[in-house]
Amino acid sequence: MGYIQAAGLAAALCVQKGEEPRQLDAKELQRELIAMGASPYRAQERKRREEVYARERVREFVARRGELITP
């Protein structure tokens, strides 16, 4: 989910409630975005997956190199 969709939802909530954007409850906006399938932690999840992937590739490389060096 992109910033544009989040901004659109924020605008819709402001219109529904008759509020200015500064008056909008950020927690409510987050709850609505999560209900729509957004994840505020997506960047953290991606970083964790990339770190796991990198560790696995390093282990594989070291294991192959060890096999090549040792008879």
pTM of the model: 0.53
Per-domain residue ranges for the chain? 1-40, 41-71
- The string of pLDDT tens digits covering residues 58-69 is 888 888 776 555
- For 28-47, the pLDDT digits (tens) are 998 898 888 877 667 777 88
Q: How far apart are CA 52 and CA 46, in angstroms?
A: 10
Residue 5 banded pLDDT, cuts 50, 70, 90: confident
